Structures are given as structure tokens and as C-alpha cells.
Amino acid sequence: MRLKVLFPLFAALAVVLAAEGAARAQHCGAVTVAPSCCPEAVCYPKVRYKTCYQTVVEECPKWVCKPCYRTEMRECRYTVCKPVQETVIKECRYTVCRPVQETIMKECRYTVCKPVWEEYDRVRCYTDCKPVYETYEQECKEVVCKPVWEEHLVPCKYYTCRMVQECRERDVCETHYKQIQEVCYRDCVRRVCKPVCEMRPCYRQVCEYRCEQYCVPGKCYTKVECIPGGTYCDPCTGATCYKCPTYRTVKCQMPPQICTRQVPCYRTVCEMKPCTRWVTECVVEKVPYTVCRCVPYTVVRKVPYTVCRNVTEEHCKMVPVRRCRMVQEVVCKKVPVTVCKTVQEQRQEVIKCRRCKMVQEEVCKQIPVTVCKMVQEEVCKQVPVTVCRMVREEVCKQVPVTICEMQKELVMEKRCKRVAVKVPVCECEPCRPSCLDRLRSFCAPKCDPCCN
């Protein structure tokens, strides 16, 4: 803006100087001209230079360290305590009361009635029955079950499986990247050290058991997948060809199963202690720079695939079946029957009888008596005991680690700089005409002294 203002002033100054030189040449190098030739006197402006400061933007190349991240799988080894159960035979001693039976003889006195027998004769009259047997035939009817076989047709249902192919579509997410320019600010760091009092932890480990879930991989199975065909253009001949659909065997896996187990966990107990250390503190200044980065965005497209499934079909056929049923039938038979008739007869006989008289008598008898008494006895028994002990086991695990590497990149940095510029300033004396009047006088026709 200042250059636009000063440019006309410089142009006017150049015109004034050129006119002055021409005037001196016309009057043969004379410094002054007689006032009788020109209507007005010529006054030259007084020029001085003023120092101004102008802001200039410069582009300077600068090397910038750009972080580049990559992920590597590192092997991490650590020791875990695994519980192992063992069965140990432990000797267990205890006291039991065992019953011991003893037989002792005990004297028992009691009164006994002793029988004394006497014999005598007695006449007995009795009736004797004599059997008389007679045989005759008796008609007997009985029911007999006779088997009768019949044939029937019974419908029998059975099922068959038929494979049906279905065409489905699934969404496939694709990640694309687009480049975006961002204006970022870089930190110019100045480090300052200052003391910081902090609490330093002292750790000790405490063992606790916690419930952990682990994954059991599912079973693997094989299924047939259809790759659909289609038309394509042959790059060699340029002809349109048709590709038949193909089938391939794909190994699939069932979803894993989540199980639970008890795992010893070492908890660290922290005790804080005061400690003074020197901390480097950074004073940051913001410097703008342009960074190009790739931003991922997701595009979803439909991918067709074929699924084979089994369709169950029901069929029915007639099967001949033999059935047996029992038919009752009455059969008549003649059975010989023997009948016994009793004929009574009167008889007498002499019977010798015995009488019994009971005579009391005291008897002393030794009776064996069994006595049970409890005897204490120490018993030793081998008891199986399950003991759980912790066994240290080293486990190796692949852990993803992100590594940051700094890559140098050349960046054009814009810097603002103040430059000193000397600008000419015209000063007009109060007795002399202004610059505009002087320009008008230079543009007016000059008087030629020779013509006078």
C-alpha cells in the first residue's frame, strides 16, 4: 500500500528533475533566468529520506521430523503359578469302642412240675367209615383260543434330504484413503529444570485368586461353497467368454466356547515415600506448518455368495403287515370221574390209657449268660487327601508393540521479517510555490531569449 502511494511522488520528482535539466540546457547552463522571460519563478522541492519498516514474508526450507508408527509382534515371557492337585495317603488315628461279648454261668432256681404217669383201661365205641368207589363219565366243556393270521397294508413315512442352493448378498467394507492438508503448530521447546517433590512407591506382592475366562476353540467342519460364474472379456482375442460356476471346499470353525477357571493373581500393595527429583520442564512456542495426512473412509459394497442348505422331504409308502388274532372256540370232552361213597359201621375196642399227675419240684440250673461290654481300641486308617500346590510355569505370548520412528521431511516454512526501506519525502518552503505549481510551470512553454 505504501509503494502505491509513493510511486506517483517518485514520478513527479523525476519529471521535475528532467525539466530542470532541460531548462539549464536551453539557457546555456545559466543558473537563473531573467524574470522578464518567464511569468513565474521556479522553486525546487527539498527532498529528504525517511526510514520505514516493511513486513516481508520469506519461505525458508526446513527439515521436520515426522513420526511414523508401525506395529510389531514381540515375544513376551512371564511366569504364572498353575495349581496342581495331588492325592496323598494320610495316616489317620482315632479311638473306637468295640463291643466284646463274654459268656458267664449264672445260677437260676425255679420250680418245675414233674409229670407222673398212671396206666388204666377204657372201652371206646366208634363208628368206622368204609369207602366204596364208583366210576362214571362226565361231559366237560372248555374254551380254546385258536390263532388266525391276517394281512394288512400299513402306511410308512420316511424322510429324504435334498440340497437347495440360495444366492445371497453380504456387505463388505473397504477402506479407502484421501489426502487432507492441515495447518499444524510445531512446538519449539526450551527446557528448564526445576525440583519436584513426589511420593515414590514401594511395592510388595499379595497373592489372590480370581475367576478368569478362557476361550476353547470350536470344532472345525467342512462345507461346500459355490463360486458363481459369468461372462468376461478375453484380453488376447477380445471375445466374450462364459465362466462356469465352480465349487470349492471351505474349512469353517464353530464359535469358540467361553470357560471359567481359577487363576492366582498377584496384587501389588503400594506404599508411598517422599522423594525429590529434578524435572525438565519445556517452554513451548507455537510455529505453524502444513501437514499432509491420509484419512481413511469406509465404502460398503454388496458381494453375492451362494449358500447350500438341506431341505427335508416327506414320503409315504404302503408296507404289508401280518397280524395274529386269537379266536375263541368251545371244545366238548368226556372225562371219566371216580366217586367215593362212605359206608358207616359201629365198632368197640379196649384202650389202655395213661394219666399224668403233675408233682412240683425245685430245680437249680446253671444258665450261660452273654454279657456285652465296650472296649476302647485305637484304629489307624489310611485316608486319601487331595493337596493343591502351586507350580511355576513359563508362558510365552506374542504381544503387539507400536514403534515410533522419526522420519526427516523437507518443509517450506514462511517467516515474517521487517525490512528497513528509505522513502523520499518532499518538503516545500513557505515562500516558494507548491509542487503542483512547479509542475504547472514546467509544463508551460518557455521563453526563448533569442527571440527578444
User: What is the pLDDT averaged over residues 332-343?
Assistant: 80
DSSP 8-class letter at 39: S
Examine residue 127 and state whether it is found in any structural domain, yes or no: yes
Mean pLDDT of the chain: 77
**Domain extent for 333:** 62-217+256-407
Residue 28, pLDDT above cutoff 50: no
Q: For the purposes of burial, counting CB atoms within 10 Å of the CB of 438, is it exposed (0-12), middle (13-18) or buried (19 or more)?
A: buried
Examine residue 43 and state whether it is found in any structural domain, yes or no: no
Q: Which letter, b or e, does each residue of 350-368 get, where b requires 16 or more Cβ atoms within 10 Å of its Cβ?
A: eeeeeeeeeeeeeeeeeee
Tens of pLDDT along 50-61? 788 878 888 888
Examine residue 445 and state whether it is found in any structural domain, yes or no: no
DSSP 8-class letter at 437: H
Examine residue 3 and state whether it is found in any structural domain, yes or no: no
CA 356, CA 242: separation in Å to the nearest integer? 130
Number of domains observed in the structure of the chain: 1
Q: How does residue 9 score in pLDDT terms, banded at 50, 70 and 90?
A: low
Tens of pLDDT along 376-403? 888 888 888 888 888 888 888 888 888 8
Q: For the purposes of burial, counting CB atoms within 10 Å of the CB of 441, is it exposed (0-12), middle (13-18) or buried (19 or more)?
A: middle
Examine residue 327 and state whether it is found in any structural domain, yes or no: yes
Examine residue 441 and state whether it is found in any structural domain, yes or no: no
pLDDT score, position 303? 83
Examine residue 226 and state whether it is found in any structural domain, yes or no: no
CA 307, CA 225: separation in Å to the nearest integer? 7
Examine residue 237 and state whether it is found in any structural domain, yes or no: no
